[in-house]
Every structure is written in C-alpha cells, then in structure tokens.
Structure 1
Amino acid sequence: MVQVRSNVEKIFLDHKLLIKNIILSSKYKSFLIAYSGGLDSTVLLHKLIELKTHIPEITIRAIHINHNLHHLSKMWSKHCEENCEKYQIPLVVKNINIDTNKNYSEKELRIQRYRLIYKCLLIEEILLTGHHMNDQCETFFLSLKRGSGPTGLSAMSFQTQLGDKKFFRPMLNQTKKTLESWARNNKITWIEDFSNFNTNYDRNYIRHKIIPILEKKWPFFLKNCFRTTKICQEETALLNYFLMKKIKKFIKDDNSLNITDFKNIKKEICTAFIRMWIALQKIKMPSYKNIQCIYHQMIFSKIDANPKFFLNKHEIRRYKNSLYLLKKKSSLNNTLLFWHDKNQTLILPNDLGYLTKNKKGIDLPEPDDNDLINIRFQYEGNILILGKKHSKKIKKIWQETNIPPWLRHQIPLLFYNDTLISALGVFVVKINNSKKKTWSISWNSNIILNHQNNFVFE
C-alpha cells in the first residue's frame, strides 16, 4: 500500500509542477478555481491550497455555478461552501436560472456557465479548471463525431484566452484514475453528480460506453489520444503561423479580404485563407461545409452579382473583389425620424451614431422655420449633386462614390419636408435658392466616408 501511494505521488508530481510553473511564470498571482465540488475541481483546489503553503504570495478564490438541474443542487452548493470555509477560501456561488420545461444541451449550459465565471473574474485574476486527460479524449471524440479538422481535433489546450482573461487547465496531462487515487489516498471527499451517468448526453455516452472498451483493449489508449491532440495542436499552430505570414498581403486596410487572384489559387489555399480571415475577426468559426459554400458563392458568382452569406449575427458580402464581414443590421427602408429641435442631438437607429449641429460638420442650406427636418434611409430617383452639371440616378451616384450595397440604406438622408437635401457624408443636392443661409451638421458614427469617397469601418 505504501508503494502504491508512493507511485501515485510520483505520477502526480508532474501535475504539481505544472501548477507551480503556472504560478511562477504568471505575472499575476491571483487565481479563481471553477469549483463544482466534484473530483476534478476538488483535487485542483487541494493542490493549490497545498502549494500556497510553499508560495504564500498567491491568492485563491473559488466559484461554484449551481445549474439547478438536480434536486441535490442546493446540497452540493452547501458542500462547496463548507469545504471552502474550512480552508478559508473565498467562494462565489452563482445560480443559472433555467426553464425546467426545456432540455438544455451541454453546449448551452457550458456557455451560460462561462459567461457567469467571466463576469466574476477580477482584474489580473487567472481562471483554473480541473479538466483532465479523460475530458480531453472525450472532447476529441466529440470533434471526430462532428467531422472536425485538425483545429477541432486539437480539443482543449493547456492555456486559453477567455475574453481578455487567461484560462489554464493544469491537470490536462493527468488521467482521472490518477486524480481519484490521489484523492482517496489523501482522504479527500467530493460529490458525485449523477447526471454524469446519463448516457443520453453525448459526452457521457463516450465516457461510459466507448472509452472503457478502448482502454480495456488498449491500456495506453488515453495517453495516445492525448498525444494525438497535442500533435494536432502543434500542426495547427504551425499552419496558422505560415498562413498568417501569407495572408497579410490579401487583407486590406479596412479589414476586407482581397480575392482578386483567388480564381488562380488552389481551392485548398483559398479556403484556408478564408478560414484564417474569419478567425481574425474573433467570431465563431463556420463549419467546413460553410467555408466551402463561402468559397464557391463569393469567388465564382458573376461580377455584377451581390452575393451574401449569413453566419449567425454576421454576414459575409462581396464588393469589388473583396470580402467584408459585417454585423447584421435591421432594415431602415421605412424609417422616418423627425428632427424637431436642431439644437438637440438626434440619435440614429442601428448603432449608426448621432447627428449634431456644430461648426465642424458639412455646410448645408438652412431650413425655413416651418420646414419639417427629417431623416430617411431610402430614396429612388434622379438627383443633381452640388457642383455637377447633370442629374443622375441615386444608384449610379452610390456606385461612383464607392458606397457598397449594404451601406446605401444605412446612410442618413436629410430631408426638408419631402425634399432631399443631402446624403450626409456623401453628397449635397443642388437647390435653386443659392442665397440661403447655411448651417453645419456632423454625423458621428463608426462608418467613415473619407475624402476619396471610399468607405472604411473603425
């Protein structure tokens, strides 16, 4: 028994050093442990408490998320509170308020859990979780089920960014059996969430139905699976390194992707560029199938086409041989805003900023006292622009001023009664009475129309 305990301690030494390395290499020494009360997080909590006796400058807090999915949930929260109180560890308890009539997926619960944790992270505090090698193998299988590529098969990394915070998984190179042996030998108690045995959940099915069979046939399967995820991580990092160097010449100053030469480049390289470009926008990566659709729709549709591809809250649009990733905005075609008091700021919809009267804006003919000043976002017909000899259709003007289709109904159009006066930031309409007084309007927005009549986004 003494020899068994010695071996467990020896195996666990690597894990202990892993946590110690995080502490010593981190600029900040404050840690928040995601503490469920289960085996993994309990072992992590006790190892950190043990290390604090040797490195007293570290500070430890714990956070417990109560999902309220089980009739024992409150008892589990109580267990965590008592355990943290015993070791004088500050504990934050947060509840997820769920609809008991709805079946939540593992992903939905995880997103809610991490949102709460992120909100509770203090400045300069690092998050630690108790993920271990078995979790890594399960994540690998889930990615395999979805048909993921090397990035997905990389599973979880030892270090991740959670928003602008650091997130470490210091026990990722340890098996669950090792953690359980260490906990039993040190007489540490933990709670068991019985929902973890519900094989209707994909992860639990892999955990209880698949991995045990594989381990019985191949005892080193877990470690080899872990090695595969590590190789995938290294290959992905290497690919991203070279892609980053190459893609720079295709990304323009306005963050769009120049696809002028994509028809002459191998499809695999083009799709890799598209994937990398989307990754740089820091939104959820589309599936392999969606990346293929983006490639075919954007690269090979007709020159005069206006292709678009929707990605949850974003959309990809093509304009003049460049791809743009945009946040979806609601239509303003039928919107009418009255500016009754021009000395007051007028707030625009769709996060388009605001209009204000000041001396820094565009000079416009001043309205008469009885004119109704109003803002619209749609106009059809011919317009004679100030400084031009001939009138043109507004569509032609948008094209000549390089305003892309998705922005044409987001630019505020200034009207006096039903007379169009200006597309703010783009053009001023020529009116008959040139002796009128003028006033200036500024449009403050994250859309900038520069002096070359090209658009950019801040």
Structure 2
Amino acid sequence: MDAAELAGRLTASGLANRYWIGYSGGLDSHVLLHQCARLGLADGRFRFAAVHVHHGLQPAAEAWAEHCAKACSELNVPFRLMRVDARAAPGQSPEEAARDARYRAFEALLEEGEALLTAQHADDQAETVLLQLLRGAGLAGLAAMPESMALGRGRLLRPLLAWSREALQGYAEAHGLRWVEDPSNRDTSYDRNFIRREVMPLLAGRWPGVAATLGRTARHCAEAQSQLERLAEDLLLAAGAGGPEGTLSVACLRRWQAPEQRLALRHWLRHAGFRAPSAAVLQRIVAEVLTAAEHRNPHVAWREGEVRRYRDRLYALRPLPPLDAQVVYPWDGRRPLVLPGNGVLRLLSGDGPLPVGWHGAMQVRYRRGGERCRLPGRQGSHALKKLFQESALLPPWVRERVPLVYVDGCLAAVGDLWLCEPFAGPGSGVTLSWSGHGLSYAR
C-alpha cells in the first residue's frame, strides 16, 4: 500500500481531526504505524498519534510498552500509554475481557471528529468469518469486521483489511522493522489461534485463495445485512409508535411472522445497548412473552438483561440490584437522598422552610404491604396496591421500587406520584422528585 492508497482509505468517510493508531508493538500494528508515519511526512493533512493499551496480562507487558514508546519516538509519532484492568468477569473469556477493556479505553480516548486505526488484515477477517460460522452466527456475524464504524465520539477504521498477513510480513522485512511477539499467539487452546495455525493452513493447501474468498463472503453478508437493517428500522418505527420511548407494541409485533418478529427484537435490543441475545432467548420472547394474555406480565431474562411485558408494551431492562424492604433511611429533606441502586429522592419546598406539617422525624423506606394513602379530594384512604392499579402510571417492577416518605411514622408521600393527607393540600408547598423511574430501562 502506497501513501496515496492509504490516504484514500483513511478519508473515505471524511478527513479526521486526528488519527490514533492502535499500536500493540506486534508485526501488524508496527506496519500500520510505519505507513502512517510516512504518510504524515508526505501529506500535512494527516495528524497521527499512537496509543498502546497496557493490559498487564503478560510478564513482558512493561517491556512491550517501552518498545512501543521507543518505536514511536524514532518515527516522530506522539505516543500515549493507557493502562486497563483486563481481568475477566465470571463467565467471561480472557480474550473477551481484554478486548472489552481495550475498546473501553479507546472509546474514552476518542474526541469528536477523531478516528482510531487498527491493523486487522485479510487473514484476520477470514479467521473471524470462520469463527462466526462455527458459532452459528447470522448475517451480522458473518459480515465480520467492517472497514469503518462508529466508536464512541469518533470512528474506528481498519485500513489494512485488503492486505494479507504475508504482504505485511514482506513489508516489515523490506523496511527492517522490529516488532514484539506475544507468546499467547502460539497457544492453540484459544479458538482464533487454532484456526490461524491449524485450520487456515490446511484450507489454503487445498484452496490457495481461501482468505480472499472468505473476505468476499464477509462483504456479501455485510451488504445483505445493511438491507435487513433498513427493514428493521421500518419495523421498529411501526412497533414503537404510540407508547413510551424505547418500548414496542405487542399487538403490532403479533401481526408479523416469526422472522420479522425476531428481526425487530434483535434490532430493538441492540438499540437499547445490549449485545444480540442467543436464538434461544429470542425464541422464548416470541413464544412466551408475545403470546401471553394481556393481564399477564411475563418476562424472559438472560445474563445481560431481561425483556418484560406490561399491558401492550415490551420493555428492555437492565438487571437491577434487589431492594431490602426492611431498610429505613433517616432524612432531613433538605439534601438529596441517594437511594443505593434506586436513584435520588429530592424534596422541594421553594425557597422557604419546610411547612409545619413536615417538621417531624422523616424516614424513607419501601413497600412492605398494607400501606394506605388518603389523597386530597377523595373520600377515605386507599391501599397503595389499588392506587397503582388504578393509575397505571408505572409498570409493576417499578412500583415496588417507589420510595415512601414518612413523617413521624405517617405516610406523607409516595415517591413523586402522590402526597397524602394531611401532608398535601394547597398550603403545603411541597413537591418531590425521584430519578428512579427509568433505572430499569435500557438506554
């Protein structure tokens, strides 16, 4: 790749304010760094800097960071080192944990109008297609790695996808480059390494152009996936109308065939910030949640979240920490009360002092059953359960999290929904705000 070709690939989606080179110190990223350094000298429009993410997972990690800093200094490319915690969470593979930590760092790094360059090449793309195929992925997975995509406030670009590993090796040797070798790349207990070292050579022996062929398959799948994305957007527009933002109409979904339902659900969950759930989870949503009777409130949960139904709407939810119904929070009402895992409660009484009726000992707790509230203008007191059912303001899973405010042991307020007599009325001057309504909604 010459300077003109690299410049064309980088500017295909518009010239960036700055290009960060994801530099591991290995062969591929060193070739990319070297090419960018040459382009920066030849064309003043391009502003490059390199970033090395220090995972701390290998004994030689410090030495690699030093190598990267030195290489960038020799090429006159600004260098930044970022240290991350790449320890795997329960149920997470080490590779996934390292990748997630790395890309979180990249997202935090990018400013508006900047781009991150990574050095994945044609052989990496072919390996990704095979991995996704063996995992039973659909079109989105088989489309593998796009050349350009949004990342944080900027973009991620992969300008070397048309180059083979062999071509990069030849470039590095021709220019006398020195790089580091990660010993974990030889460990075939990792799926990608097994495909790279065992499967791809076998396939290439029979079909010499296998990497290019699999790359072409990825492009075909990406094109087909883009068509499905447009269809999915139309489906979501239809199913999302007439209800709270981010929810879907069950009645609308029920009118469609199962493939359209699954397409809309996948797209909806991705918009809500979830990774695509398994086919089994999607099928359970279709079979159990969409078909349930209207008075039911079914839900399907998986590790990352859950889908719940309330009346005619589907809600995508993040897992919420359990609440202790026995906990009691003393409160003076003057400062916001932070409720662990349940938002913030504020009491607003204008610029003056609290009304006389609110001067007693104030506490905040959650429903335990049997609570009653006498609303202004209504005869008698009413059970909170009945009031919630009548108003239909909140889904059931939010109702149980509504904070209750007591003054001298008497129920004074139900979140920011109702003030109870005698703490209400035109002269009270008190209102409450609670930020917890949306805590369970994915965004």
Q: TM-score, normalised by structure 1?
A: 0.86
C-alpha change, 1:139 and 1:295, in structure 2 (3 Å) is same
Q: Structure 1 stretches of 5 or more lacking a match? A: 1-11, 449-454
- Aligned-partner SS, 1:249: helix
Q: Which residue of 1 aligns with 2:204?
A: 215
Q: Which residue of 2 aligns with 1:443?
A: 433
Q: Which residue of 1 aligns with 2:306?
A: 315
Whole-Å separation in 2 of the counterparts to 1:93 and 1:434: 58
C-alpha change, 1:360 and 1:163, in structure 2 (3 Å) is farther
Whole-Å separation in 2 of the counterparts to 1:256 and 1:196: 44
Work out whether 1:386 is the aligned partner of 2:364: no
C-alpha change, 1:210 and 1:164, in structure 2 (3 Å) is same
* Correspondence 1:141-180 to 2 at 5 A: 141-180=130-169
Which of 9, 22, 27 is 2:10 aligned to? Answer: 22
Cα offsets for 1:117-153 (capped at 9, x unmatched): 3333345331001000111111111111211111111
Counterpart of 1:396, as a letter, is K
Contact 1:360 1:442 in 2 (8 A): no
Work out whether 1:50 is the aligned partner of 2:38: yes
Structure 1 position 306, deviation (Å): 2.2
Q: Which has the larger radius of gyration?
A: 1
Counterpart of 2:41, as a letter, is T
Which of 332, 344, 350 is 1:353 aligned to? Answer: 344
Counterpart of 1:387, as a letter, is G
C-alpha change, 1:257 and 1:360, in structure 2 (3 Å) is farther
Whole-Å separation in 1 of the counterparts to 2:425 and 2:224: 70
Q: Which residue of 2 aligns with 1:336?
A: 328
C-alpha change, 1:172 and 1:19, in structure 2 (3 Å) is farther
* Correspondence 1:153-302 to 2 at 5 A: 153-251=142-240, 252-302=243-293
Counterpart of 2:383, as a letter, is K
C-alpha change, 1:407 and 1:446, in structure 2 (3 Å) is closer
Q: TM-score, normalised by structure 2?
A: 0.88
Q: Which residue of 2 aligns with 1:113?
A: 102
C-alpha change, 1:193 and 1:247, in structure 2 (3 Å) is same
Whole-Å separation in 2 of the counterparts to 1:368 and 1:76: 63
Contact 1:143 1:153 in 2 (8 A): yes
Counterpart of 1:182, as a letter, is Y
Contact 2:363 2:407 in 1 (8 A): yes
C-alpha change, 1:374 and 1:236, in structure 2 (3 Å) is same
Counterpart of 1:151, as a letter, is A
Structure 1 position 263, deviation (Å): 3.2
Q: Which moved more, 1:182-191 or 1:68-77?
A: 68-77
Q: Which moved more, 1:112-121 or 1:78-87?
A: 112-121
Work out whether 1:74 is the aligned partner of 2:62: yes
Contact 2:415 2:434 in 1 (8 A): no
Structure 1 position 105, deviation (Å): 1.9
Whole-Å separation in 2 of the counterparts to 1:206 and 1:395: 58
C-alpha change, 1:29 and 1:262, in structure 2 (3 Å) is closer
Structure 1 position 351, deviation (Å): 4.4
Cα offsets for 1:201-245 (capped at 9, x unmatched): 110000000011111100111111001111111111111112212
C-alpha change, 1:360 and 1:272, in structure 2 (3 Å) is farther
- Aligned-partner SS, 1:160: strand
Q: Structure 2 stretches of 5 or more lacking a match? A: none
Whole-Å separation in 1 of the counterparts to 2:184 and 2:369: 60
Cα offsets for 1:30-53 (capped at 9, x unmatched): 111111121111111111112122
> Structure 1 segments of 4 or more deviating over 6 A?
433-436, 455-458
Whole-Å separation in 2 of the counterparts to 1:230 and 1:430: 66
C-alpha change, 1:437 and 1:217, in structure 2 (3 Å) is same
Counterpart of 1:89, as a letter, is V
Identity across the alignment (%):
27
C-alpha RMSD over aligned residues? 3.0
Contact 1:365 1:436 in 2 (8 A): no
Q: How many residues align?
A: 434
C-alpha change, 1:227 and 1:430, in structure 2 (3 Å) is same
- Aligned-partner SS, 1:213: helix
Contact 1:352 1:410 in 2 (8 A): no
Contact 1:413 1:420 in 2 (8 A): yes
Which of 19, 40, 64 is 2:28 aligned to? Answer: 40
Cα offsets for 1:316-338 (capped at 9, x unmatched): 21101110112333233223222
Cα offsets for 1:338-397 (capped at 9, x unmatched): 22x333333333342231232399xx984264x322222205235443222354432221
C-alpha change, 1:343 and 1:35, in structure 2 (3 Å) is closer
Whole-Å separation in 2 of the counterparts to 1:192 and 1:457: 41
Q: Which moved more, 1:191-200 or 1:346-355?
A: 346-355
Contact 2:87 2:98 in 1 (8 A): no
Contact 2:29 2:119 in 1 (8 A): yes
Q: Which moved more, 1:391-400 or 1:113-122?
A: 113-122
